[in-house]
């Protein structure tokens, strides 16, 4: 399934309509005046505010036809988002009180409603520069009441297309009435894909737990719980790079600096190996990518060992290769990326843990 998705992504998703799809929302937001004065005051102060505590933990960027799609991953504790029972409605007013009482004692669904406000500013020589964009996102998250844990921390995401540059993001989460405002600030850089003329580089490399295709790109900016959306892909990343011995790594990244042929073909090769203490534990067959520089590659954590059987005299009777699950421990995935058209290559490493 993941292999089919990857081929579809390489063949067509780089021509997705992320940017045009969001343009209608941008026009509508411009009419409304985006960020209320209560939130503007917090942003201008430039200090984190913990009415609603949250943490921006990572920034991922991936290509779109005109810009790069910047994704921001956040950790928020359930209890801090104020999840509450959804309001039950009934036509029979005679049983409304009992029904509501029963619902509150064992709620089947909980929801958290509020506002998210984003302000992007340029950063130049370490100083905050001109305003680039303001974004408003209403959110309404729902969870299963029977498994809800107010102390559990989940991850949330939002994404927005931006041109290359250095930025500061001011991000606020607010209750519907703006009585509580949580704010955090995050500095990040979006590289210029056209600047990689003599070298290769990649977008931030991450492992994917699950990749699912959705019907169409989003037409509005939304916050997501437990995944992020890139074009027509819903991606659940592995945020802590923690795996079981029976798991499969699924590495995901885009390669900058590759060159196509005049016919639009690519000739990219990536070799993968898992190392521990400077020793190669797993060496995979080198993979070719001919459709484009987006990579989503499954890598089973299977160790191949040579098993030698000897007779009573110590002479070798047989030799065979056997596979087994990788042992628990700390590992490094090493990737050697080569573009055979430009002749450029680079190496990347990602640490991960098996428990």
Q: Which residue has the tokens 């100083």?
A: 127
The pairing of strands 233-238 and 228-230 is antiparallel
d(CA 258, CA 187): 28
- Residues spanned by the domain of 250: 242-355
- For residues 257 and 198, state if they share a domain: no
pLDDT, residue 27, reads 47
- For residues 138 and 264, state if they share a domain: no
pLDDT, residue 318, reads 76
d(CA 231, CA 33): 27
* Cα four-point dihedral sign 258, 262, 264, 270: negative
Domain end (from 174, 206, 239): 239
Whether residue 185 contacts residue 64, with contact meaning beta carbons closer than 8 Å, is answered with: no
Q: Which residue has the tokens 């998703």?
A: 13
- For residues 218 and 305, state if they share a domain: no
d(CA 237, CA 262): 35
Query: According to DSSP H, which parts of the chain are helical?
Result: 2-12, 18-32, 37-45, 96-105
Please report, for residues 96, 97, 99, 114, 352, the alpha-carbon distance to residue 93 in angstroms, rounded to integers and kept in the order given: 5, 8, 10, 29, 57
- For residues 251 and 316, state if they share a domain: yes
* Cα four-point dihedral sign 53, 237, 8, 296: positive
The answer to the question of residue 105 being in a domain is: no
Q: Number of structural domains, the chain?
A: 2
pLDDT, residue 6, reads 53
pLDDT in tens, the chain (355 residues): 455 455 555 444 544 434 444 544 554 454 345 899 999 999 999 999 999 999 999 999 999 988 999 999 999 999 999 999 987 544 444 444 444 443 445 468 999 999 999 999 999 998 999 999 999 999 999 999 999 999 999 999 999 999 999 999 999 999 999 999 999 999 999 999 999 999 999 999 999 999 999 999 888 999 999 999 999 999 999 999 999 999 999 999 999 999 999 999 999 999 999 999 999 999 999 999 999 999 999 999 999 988 777 778 888 877 888 899 999 999 999 999 999 999 999 999 999 999 9
Residue burial 39-49, b: 16+ Cβ < 10 Å; e: rest = bbebbeeeeeb
Give one DSSP letter per residue of 224-291, joined into a string: EES-EEETTEEEEEETT-EE-TT-EEEEEEEEES----TTS---EEEEEEEEETTEEEEEPPPEEE-S
Domain end (from 194, 213, 239): 239
- For residues 148 and 30, state if they share a domain: yes
* 3-state class (DSSP) for residue 6: helix
Domain end (from 239, 266, 283): 239
CATH number at 300 reads 2.60.40.1930
pLDDT, residue 33, reads 58
HSE of 24, CA atoms in CB hemisphere, 13 A: 7
Whether residue 112 contacts residue 141, with contact meaning beta carbons closer than 8 Å, is answered with: yes
**Six-digit token string for 11:** 């063949």
């Amino acid at each position: 399934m993941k292999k089919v998705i990857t081929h579809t992504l390489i063949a067509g998703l780089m021509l997705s309509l992320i940017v045009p799809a969001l343009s209608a929302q941008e026009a509508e937001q411009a009419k409304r005046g985006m960020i209320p004065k209560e939130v503007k005051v917090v942003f201008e102060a430039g200090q984190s505010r913990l009415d609603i505590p949250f943490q921006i933990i990572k920034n991922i960027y991936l290509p779109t036809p005109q810009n790069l799609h910047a994704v921001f991953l956040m950790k928020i504790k359930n209890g801090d988002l104020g999840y509450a029972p959804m309001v039950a409605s009934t036509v029979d007013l005679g049983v409304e009180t009992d029904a509501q009482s029963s619902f509150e004692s064992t709620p089947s669904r909980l929801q958290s409603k509020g506002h998210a406000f984003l302000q992007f500013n340029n950063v130049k020589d370490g100083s905050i520069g001109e305003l680039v964009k303001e974004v408003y996102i209403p959110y309404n998250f729902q969870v299963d009441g029977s498994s809800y844990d107010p102390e559990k921390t989940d991850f949330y995401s939002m994404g927005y297309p931006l041109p290359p540059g250095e930025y500061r993001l001011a991000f606020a989460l607010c209750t519907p009435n703006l009585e509580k405002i949580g704010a955090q600030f995050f500095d990040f850089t979006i590289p210029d894909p056209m600047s990689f003329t003599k070298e290769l580089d990649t977008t931030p490399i991450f492992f994917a737990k699950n990749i699912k295709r959705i019907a169409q790109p989003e037409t509005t900016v939304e916050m997501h719980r437990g995944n992020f959306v890139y074009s027509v892909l819903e991606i659940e990343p592995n945020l802590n790079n923690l795996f079981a011995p029976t798991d499969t790594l699924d590495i995901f990244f885009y390669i900058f600096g590759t060159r196509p042929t005049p016919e639009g073909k690519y000739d990219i090769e990536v070799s993968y190996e898992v190392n521990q203490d400077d020793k190669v534990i797993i060496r995979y067959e080198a993979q070719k990518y001919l459709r484009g520089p987006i990579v989503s590659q499954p890598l089973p954590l299977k160790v191949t060992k040579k098993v030698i059987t000897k007779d009573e005299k110590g002479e070798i009777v047989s030799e065979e290769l056997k596979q087994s699950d990788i042992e628990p421990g700390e590992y490094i995935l090493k990737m050697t990326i080569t573009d055979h058209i430009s002749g450029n290559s680079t190496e990347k490493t990602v640490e991960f843990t098996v428990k």
